[in-house]
Structure 1
Amino acid sequence: MIHFNFSRIFKLKGIVRPFTYLTKNGYSAGYATKLTNNRVHEINLVRLEKFCRDFNCTPNDILDFKPSSNDSISKDHALHTLTKKELDTELIYKINALPADKIQQIHNILKEME
């Protein structure tokens, strides 16, 4: 089944309080609640584009595919490209727990990617 996974984007971006972040960036409280709790089941393209622009991501970053237990979809089906690994902890906490020299290495790698 295909579903939206907004919480993954929040974790990747290091946003600890997504509701607060969203409302400060122009999202209504009701819609921010839906996004924060992954209760969006459909989204119009204007809202999807706004979210992608605001978070520098693509729709594929938000979509996730998890086949149901009785699903007979083949392992090489294109939908599996939407399957994402779960993020067990906040990335920013992992980075902050690293020694300074390792953080510097990450910084150098990121600078090379620019």
Structure 2
Amino acid sequence: MLTLNLTPIFKARGIEKPYTFLVKAGLTPHSTNHILGNKTRVYRLDHIELLCDALNCEPNDLLSWTPEKGKQYPDNYPLKNLQQNENNENILETLTKLTYKELQQKTKDFNTNDK
């Protein structure tokens, strides 16, 4: 089953009030409630685009796939790429655990790869 998995992105971006953030980004309160409550089964492409724009991500970052119980999938099944890992550690927590030199190196690597 495919679902939207926004919580890790909100945590990574330091968004403490997702409802307010999404309404300010342009979603209606009604749509925001449905999206945050995982009550929506059909997503409008303009909503996906708005989410990607507001959260600076791509659609695959928003989606999570959970395999159907009892069903076997081949190792190369394309949706397996959308399985969420079990690591729930906050990215900001991870960054604070790095030494200053490690953080400088990561920043340097990031800036080098960005060019």
TM-score by length of 2: 0.77
- Number of aligned pairs? 114
Give 1:75 shift. 2.5
Identity, % of aligned positions: 25
The answer to whether residue 42 in structure 2 is matched with residue 42 in structure 1 is yes
- What does residue 6 of structure 2 align with? 6
User: Aligned to 2:94, what secondary structure does the other structure show?
Assistant: helix
- What does residue 76 of structure 1 align with? 76
After superposition, the Cα gap between the structure-2 partners of 1:104 and 1:65, relative to the gap in structure 1 and judged at 3 Å, is same
- What does residue 100 of structure 1 align with? 100
Instruction: Report the aligned-residue RMSD.
Output: 2.3
> Segments of 4+ in structure 1 off by > 6 A?
none
- What does residue 52 of structure 1 align with? 52
User: Aligned to 1:32, what secondary structure does the other structure show?
Assistant: helix
After superposition, the Cα gap between the structure-2 partners of 1:99 and 1:20, relative to the gap in structure 1 and judged at 3 Å, is farther
> Structure 2: how far apart are the matches of 1:113 and 1:90?
23
> Structure 2: how far apart are the matches of 1:86 and 1:36?
20
Matched letter for residue 17 of structure 2:
R
- What does residue 64 of structure 1 align with? 64
Give 1:47 shift. 0.8
1:4–1:41 contact (8 Å) kept in structure 2: no
